[in-house]
């Protein structure tokens, strides 16, 4: 697929597992577009938290 | 123990060569990994073996993936990719006239299988009473080490694997009943004209097809025709 490399794949799995406590098995059973949506939502949430922290 | 529940949407895909409809589920993240690994190995053969494995995993009925034509595999994979990842792919080319990079978004839903013009030429007449029936290369060729080791001889070896039967006025001889050596001997004795017809059948196979038209910065109308999976996904 054009949109992701194997390295990016493992980095993403590691981040979800290590930092956000997702199970690798659960992640692997998702459909790729579901994981993309989850990834985008997580980034949005992290940016929101960052903004909140900066305004305090 | 209760029966397992179906967790994924079911997609119906019509196989281009047989026109039969089969059921599939979208591929999962773990199956996407199979493809990413094959992509790292960097041979078209490894990528097609991975594609075949994914299609086999996602098939929900009795489809024999090994018997599919190679263009069927590509078509099914495109449809599964739409359901699993999305229907848009971004690709970029460097125009060889103005050297500018041009980007396009392809809608994978618009990709069709393009059949060669004219009547089907899988029946090759050798004489008035003798002939042979050919099949398009099956997906099983990707697992055939002997075929891929035959570098200079590749086309000849592929032809042998595509012979379905030979006929004369008395009988039909199914290729399954004969050894590879016997088939080699048979194909070797074909006259040049017949051999060219056989070659033409293989080089003029149905392909995926998508046409991009654009005008470059020098005002020239350009057309790009995409025909293989590699054209759409730039695997390597």
Find the residue in B nearest to A29 (Cα): B28
What 8-state DSSP symbol labels residue B109? G
CA distance A35 to B133: 47
Question: Is B28 in the A-facing interface, judged by CB distances under 8 Å?
Answer: yes
Q: Which candidate from B26, B36, B86 shows the least CB-CB separation from A6? A: B36
Burial (0-12, 13-18, 19+ Cβ within 10 Å), B210: buried
Question: With an 8 Å Cβ cutoff, are B90 and A2 in contact?
Answer: yes
* pLDDT > 70 in chain A, percent: 95
The answer for residues whose C-beta is within 8 angstroms of residue B60's C-beta and 6 or more apart is B10, B22, B23, B24, B25
Lookup result for tokens 């985008």: A40
* pLDDT > 90 in chain B, percent: 50
Interface test with A, best of B9, B29, B231 (most A CBs within 10 A): B29
CA distance B77 to A33: 16
Tens digit of pLDDT for each residue in B40-50?
Answer: 876 888 888 99
The model carries a pTM of: 0.87
* Averaged confidence pLDDT in chain B: 88
236 residues of chain B, pLDDT tens digit each: 777 676 789 999 999 999 999 999 999 999 999 988 888 876 888 888 999 999 999 999 989 999 999 999 999 999 999 999 999 888 888 888 888 999 889 999 999 999 887 666 788 999 999 999 999 999 988 888 888 887 778 888 899 999 999 999 999 999 999 998 999 999 999 999 999 989 988 888 899 999 999 998 998 999 988 888 877 776 43
Residues of chain B contacting A9 with CB distance shorter than 8 Å: 32-33, 36
Please report the ipTM that was assigned to this predicted complex.
0.86
Phi-psi region of B234 (alpha: psi -120 to 50; beta: other; left: phi over 0): left
CA distance B31 to B54: 6
Q: What is the pLDDT of residue B230?
A: 78
Q: Are B159 and B203 in contact (CB under 8 A)?
A: no
Question: Is B165 in the A-facing interface, judged by CB distances under 8 Å?
Answer: no
Find the residue in A nearest to B28 (Cα): A31
Q: Is the pLDDT of residue A2 over 60?
A: no
Smallest CA–CA distance, residue A44 to chain B, in Å, is 20
The answer for residues whose C-beta is within 8 angstroms of residue B96's C-beta and 6 or more apart is none
Tell me the residue length of chain B. Answer: 236
Question: Is B42 in the A-facing interface, judged by CB distances under 8 Å?
Answer: no
Q: What is the pLDDT of residue B118?
A: 67
Q: What is the pLDDT of residue B234?
A: 61
Q: What is the pLDDT of residue B120?
A: 64
Indicate the SS3 state at residue B189: coil
Q: What is the pLDDT of residue B42?
A: 66
What 8-state DSSP symbol labels residue A3? S
């Amino acid at each position: 697929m054009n949109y992701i490399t194997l390295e990016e794949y493992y980095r993403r799995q590691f981040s979800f597992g290590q930092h956000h406590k997702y199970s690798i098995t659960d992640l692997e059973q998702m459909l790729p577009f579901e994981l993309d949506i989850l990834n985008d939502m997580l980034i949005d949430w992290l940016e929101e938290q960052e903004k909140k922290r900066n305004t305090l | 123990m209760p029966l397992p529940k179906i967790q994924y949407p079911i997609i119906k895909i019509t196989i281009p060569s047989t026109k039969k409809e089969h059921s599939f589920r979208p591929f999962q993240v773990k199956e996407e990994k199979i493809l990413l690994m094959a992509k790292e190995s960097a041979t078209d053969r490894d990528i097609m073996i991975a594609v075949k494995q994914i299609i086999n995993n996602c098939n929900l009925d009795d489809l024999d993936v090994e018997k599919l034509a190679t263009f069927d595999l590509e078509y099914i994979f495109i449809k599964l990719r739409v359901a699993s990842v999305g229907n848009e792919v971004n690709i970029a080319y460097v125009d060889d006239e103005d050297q500018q990079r041009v980007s396009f978004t392809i809608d994978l839903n618009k990709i069709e299988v393009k059949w060669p013009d004219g009547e089907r030429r899988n029946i090759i007449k050798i004489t008035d009473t003798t002939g042979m029936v050919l099949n398009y290369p099956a997906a099983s060729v990707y697992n055939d080490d002997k075929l891929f080791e035959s570098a200079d001889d590749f086309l000849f070896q592929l032809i042998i694997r595509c012979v379905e039967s030979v006929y004369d006025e008395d009988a039909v001889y199914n290729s399954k009943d004969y050894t590879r050596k016997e088939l080699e001997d048979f194909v070797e004795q074909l006259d040049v004209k017949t051999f060219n017809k056989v070659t033409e059948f293989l080089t003029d196979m149905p392909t995926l097809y998508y046409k991009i038209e654009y005008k470059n910065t020098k005002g020239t109308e350009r057309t790009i025709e995409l025909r293989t999976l590699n054209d759409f996904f730039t695997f390597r």
